[in-house]
Structure 1
Amino acid sequence: MSANPTSDAEMATRMISWPRNKVDELFSIADTGLFMSRQQQLYADIGEEGIFLIRANARGDYQVPLPFAPGQPGPILTKVPGQAQWKITREGMVLPIASVPVRQETLEIIPRHLADKLTSPDANGLRYDKLKRTYVDVTEEGTVMVRKNTDGHYQASSTSELIPSGPLLENIEGMTLWQRKATNTPASDAEDSGPTPGKRPRLDEQVEAANPVADNNPPAATLNDNPYLWASWGKITKPDSVESIMIGQLHYPIVPKGPMADQLPLVFIQHPEFAPSRFEAFERMLQEAPSLQPVATSHHAATNTRKVDGAARLFEKTLTQQVADVYKGFTEPTSRAVAKRLFELSNESAEFNGSGLARMKQTFRYWEGKSNLGVPRLGDPLDMLPIASSNDGARRIVELHAPDSVTPLQQLNFNPESTHAWQFYTELPNAPGRLSLLLASILGHSGYKVFLPANVENVQLTPPTLVFKRPNHDKVYFLKVGRVETDAIEILPPSMAELDDPHLKTRIGDEAHQSLVAADAKGDVVWLMGGVQHLLAGSPSVFIIKER
């Protein structure tokens, strides 16, 4: 035991606290109650307790580290509502042993100013200091020293040991970031352990493209456990290589504003570990480390301050999954092709930017029926389809792509088994009307309103035709339906204009005909072809292409 316990306690406190009479030497972060030191260390004002060093733990909570007590969790903090102060959440200091997963072992994070002196991550995410010691950047936590253990696996370590004793770490596939290696925690324990890097809460945020700050009555967003994680992204000096904004006394690098810079009141601050990149990297980030996505900020002219909406994420899931959740009949490759095309059209670039982020978010809100304000050219995946291209011959023959093909967006493929109508169709596939009813059922499953004639037997009339639309969208879709037994389709010019067909109204019904005529007068009809492709090899598939 120490001969002077009081002195030891004071020394330990000095290691993690900042004198309140020297708070002016710290850089304040607006009205968050957080501060940054010149060494890029983050501090929180805990009222009468003092000003203490904090770090984000694996769960995204701000926590006071205890370097003098390795392995002991420090107090977890939460913001005091309406005040620039934080408080200790004592319930979070010690968790029941049965609910503490192994992955919560303490990591010895090195200070950011030391991490900045390391080499850039190589292809495997490994970084080195001047003594060739190895480090990695652990997502949501920080930079740690690692060593290989006797099994050849990387394990967190420190300068004070030669044999690593920290948690096992692994590289996130396709990224330079690392994460704690998953442990074999029983499913029942994992369900009760609260949110972890592998089990993330659902998040949502509303962003309007033309007026992206908010709706008048936006639905409540699902909050992060800690909406102030962005605070540590700031720099005490203005970066030279990227554009930045000031929040409090810190400079925050921002995502390039993009083509809508003059019209967009939102600016997105950028995570230090994820700069603008292409669709594939953006998808991996949303899948594996969603906390790295940019955070929206808006400027308030009246107070000349900038509000950071860190309480909700722009995207709670990958773009591909968001497409699939709205258009439930799409095949997975089609959902991904639509997501990638949306990414490219929104950003008007191969890499994301602030304008693109706002457009993508608003497009999903529109597709989900949460907003009546659509983004031009992005009102529906059918609007994004290119006109079907053909070979160079005199005949217009369009190649069809297999439902599992990974190609840029050329056509939409649907899972025929996604509705009960598939069994009805397969019983008598050549029976009149079966094909039209199958397509109507699949389209209805993906949220479209399909107009059917009052006398449903009229769907048996030829040529089979469907008219449909989305409830909040101006476009009306005219679909010629057929059965294909080859890997291509020939598009023949119509013998007469579709709207001049005297039998059209009987086939599609009065309501569909009225909607079609009104949309045609505004140039809002999208002309499509589709149906079921039956090949000798492979399962039947349902497709739609754009005729013109």
Structure 2
Amino acid sequence: MLLGHDAEGHHRARSSAELVASGPRLEQVAGSLLWRRVAVAVESDSSDASLTMTLHSLSDDDSSEATAPKRQRTTPAPTPQNEASVEPPPVFRPEWAFKPTLALPQFITVSGVHYKVMSRMDAREFPILYIQPPLHPAYDFDVLEAILRHTPEEQPRAVIRVPPHDHWEIDARLPFEKTLTAHVRDIFPEVTTVTLENIARRQFELANSSPYADAAGLTALRQIFHSWKHATPSPHPQWSDPLLMLSTLPTTAGITNTSRAIDLPAPSSTGALNRLDFDPMRFRQQWEYFLSTYSTIDFKRFMAGLLTRNGYTVMEPNNFNSFPALVFRRTGHDYLFFMSLHRTRIPKLSLPTHNNPNTTGMNLETQVGDAAAQAVKDAHEANRIVWLKGGSQILPGVADTVFIIRDDNARL
């Protein structure tokens, strides 16, 4: 419930859909921010006559309807325990308001105050708007990330139309509880710092269809982070999983007429999301064991463990000792991943013919097991399969890493 005025100017409780408050009449407790119901004469038993009501700002779990007040036994004399606690209304810094002129950007008016609307030249139409401090520039990834890190109270605020008269109301909640990279770190705890920023930046640009934010893009990011937090299907699956956002790397001719190779971008490359890297220092015990064994089965178990710790569901690896590969998926979308596993000590993946299961006639069921093979075939038929390569890369003078790339070289 919110605080408002009735037709006579008295303070009353109101719902967000009311322009004129119609709820119980309230009075402020002197010297505090608390409000209580104005005492009225009643003929019923005084122990049941007093009703208490809490006024609060809207939250994610609030419904659009007012909650009925609950009866609560009280003593005849009001005490702080039976006074309703009221959160102060959203307060915006004075400089958020401005006097619009023809030279100033688009604005909206909320309760008689003008606010600058976050926008850009090619902004998409969207039912939710965001207001911003008038001196802020357009929000690219770096600007928004810096604001969220240093002055989160200055991030754009959502503004929505409220029926029945479609007047604008400012959502007092902060759209983002933490930086964009912190949201990614919560879900992918073992990626390198470079990969962390590359994921967040690419996600920002894809959601906004631009290097600069618009209302549709910020709302999409909020929906993605909500689906991550609650492990629910995402309304934007193509931007929810970094494996779906990876660029496809080309396969080129190898050193022989029949071999092929994939040049790997440097692990330190920034800006583009063309590989995912996981930092072995974040799973040191598993990494040290991996380095001590050259067992194909141990390789599959090592990579399956890494994927599981970072939110993927891996189909049980089999005990076949050649052509290591994993089949896995992620909650939130219906794509299936097939990843062949490799070790490399050079800046590329060499793919000789004798290591290609397609050219050697290797049966898919033998390679990954019957259940995984059937899942791959079904996903391939439904055009819901993503072909990956991953494994370890150890280079001189460069930190060791576990990588994943997308090549789209179909196993089928």
Distance 1:289 1:305, change over 3 A: same
- What aligned pairs does 1:289-328 form with structure 2 within 5 A after superposition? 289-310=151-172, 312-328=173-189
Distance 1:334 1:32, change over 3 A: farther
Distance 1:261 1:535, change over 3 A: closer
Q: Quick check: 1:32–1:84 contact (8 Å CA) kept in 2?
A: no
User: What's the counterpart of residue 290 of structure 2?
Assistant: 425
| Cα distance in 1 for residues equivalent to 2:300 and 2:205 | 33
| Cα distance in 2 for residues equivalent to 1:348 and 1:313 | 23
SS in 2 for 1:377: helix
Instruction: Tell me by how many angstroms 1:234 deviates.
Output: 2.9
User: What's the counterpart of residue 472 of structure 1?
Assistant: 332
Instruction: Tell me by how many angstroms 1:314 deviates.
Output: 1.3
Distance 1:488 1:407, change over 3 A: farther
Distance 1:393 1:443, change over 3 A: closer
SS in 1 for 2:92: helix
- Residues 1:267 and 2:129 are matched in the alignment: yes
User: What's the counterpart of residue 303 of structure 2?
Assistant: 439
Distance 1:427 1:502, change over 3 A: closer
| Cα distance in 1 for residues equivalent to 2:288 and 2:273 | 28
Identity percentage of aligned residues: 27
The equivalent position to 1:534 in structure 2, one of 376, 394, 403, is 394
User: What's the counterpart of residue 247 of structure 1?
Assistant: 110
- What aligned pairs does 1:350-369 form with structure 2 within 5 A after superposition? 350-369=211-230
Distance 1:496 1:405, change over 3 A: closer
Q: Quick check: 1:435–1:482 contact (8 Å CA) kept in 2?
A: no
- What aligned pairs does 1:373-412 form with structure 2 within 5 A after superposition? 373-375=234-236, 377-389=238-250, 397-412=261-276
Alignment-mate amino acid for residue 104 of structure 2: S
Alignment-mate amino acid for residue 255 of structure 1: M
| Cα distance in 2 for residues equivalent to 1:253 and 1:88 | 36
The equivalent position to 1:337 in structure 2, one of 194, 198, 206, is 198
Q: Quick check: 1:230–1:271 contact (8 Å CA) kept in 2?
A: no
User: What's the counterpart of residue 451 of structure 1?
Assistant: 315
Q: Quick check: 2:338–2:386 contact (8 Å CA) kept in 1?
A: yes
Instruction: Tell me by how many angstroms 1:449 deviates.
Output: 0.3
TM-score (norm 1): 0.55
SS in 2 for 1:229: coil
Distance 1:87 1:333, change over 3 A: farther
The equivalent position to 1:517 in structure 2, one of 347, 354, 377, is 377
| Cα distance in 2 for residues equivalent to 1:241 and 1:528 | 49
Q: Quick check: 2:237–2:333 contact (8 Å CA) kept in 1?
A: no
Per-residue CA distance 1:241-298 (angstroms, 9 max, x = gap): 2111221222221111786733x32111112343322211111111000111111122
Alignment-mate amino acid for residue 422 of structure 1: W
- Residues 1:281 and 2:143 are matched in the alignment: yes
SS in 2 for 1:275: coil
- What aligned pairs does 1:198-213 form with structure 2 within 5 A after superposition? none
| Cα distance in 2 for residues equivalent to 1:281 and 1:517 | 44
Residue segments in structure 2 that go unaligned for 5+ positions in a row: 12-20, 34-57, 65-86
| Cα distance in 2 for residues equivalent to 1:244 and 1:392 | 56
| Cα distance in 1 for residues equivalent to 2:231 and 2:372 | 25
| Cα distance in 1 for residues equivalent to 2:374 and 2:291 | 33
Instruction: Tell me by how many angstroms 1:501 deviates.
Output: 6.0
Instruction: Tell me by how many angstroms 1:483 deviates.
Output: 0.5
Across the aligned residues of Structure 1 and Structure 2, the Cα RMSD in angstroms comes to 3.9
Q: Quick check: 2:346–2:393 contact (8 Å CA) kept in 1?
A: yes
User: What's the counterpart of residue 367 of structure 2?
Assistant: 507
| Cα distance in 1 for residues equivalent to 2:309 and 2:180 | 20
Q: Quick check: 1:258–1:356 contact (8 Å CA) kept in 2?
A: no
| Cα distance in 1 for residues equivalent to 2:396 and 2:117 | 53
SS in 2 for 1:368: helix
| Cα distance in 2 for residues equivalent to 1:405 and 1:83 | 62
Distance 1:205 1:414, change over 3 A: farther
Q: Quick check: 1:244–1:253 contact (8 Å CA) kept in 2?
A: yes
Give the stretch that moved more between structures: 231-240 or 511-520.
Answer: 231-240
Instruction: Tell me by how many angstroms 1:388 deviates.
Output: 1.0
User: What's the counterpart of residue 200 of structure 1?
Assistant: none
| Cα distance in 1 for residues equivalent to 2:374 and 2:102 | 59
Q: Quick check: 2:315–2:328 contact (8 Å CA) kept in 1?
A: yes
Greater RCO, 1 or 2 (C-alpha within 8 Å, sep 6+): 2
Instruction: Tell me by how many angstroms 1:331 deviates.
Output: 0.9
Distance 1:91 1:214, change over 3 A: closer
Q: Quick check: 1:270–1:294 contact (8 Å CA) kept in 2?
A: yes
Residue segments in structure 1 that go unaligned for 5+ positions in a row: 1-30, 35-44, 48-79, 93-203, 208-212, 216-224
Alignment-mate amino acid for residue 106 of structure 2: E
Instruction: Tell me by how many angstroms 1:398 deviates.
Output: 3.3
Alignment-mate amino acid for residue 240 of structure 2: G
SS in 2 for 1:536: coil
**Count of matched residue pairs:** 344
Instruction: Tell me by how many angstroms 1:316 deviates.
Output: 1.1
| Cα distance in 2 for residues equivalent to 1:337 and 1:399 | 19
Q: Quick check: 1:33–1:86 contact (8 Å CA) kept in 2?
A: no
Q: Quick check: 1:206–1:365 contact (8 Å CA) kept in 2?
A: no
Alignment-mate amino acid for residue 382 of structure 2: K
Distance 1:424 1:521, change over 3 A: same
Per-residue CA distance 1:434-482 (angstroms, 9 max, x = gap): 22111111111100001114xx5x1x52100011110231111110101
| Cα distance in 2 for residues equivalent to 1:83 and 1:275 | 44
| Cα distance in 1 for residues equivalent to 2:326 and 2:186 | 24
- What aligned pairs does 1:216-255 form with structure 2 within 5 A after superposition? 228-230=90-92, 232=94, 233-237=96-100, 240-255=103-118
The equivalent position to 2:207 in structure 1, one of 327, 343, 346, is 346
| Cα distance in 2 for residues equivalent to 1:367 and 1:491 | 36
User: What's the counterpart of residue 41 of structure 2?
Assistant: none
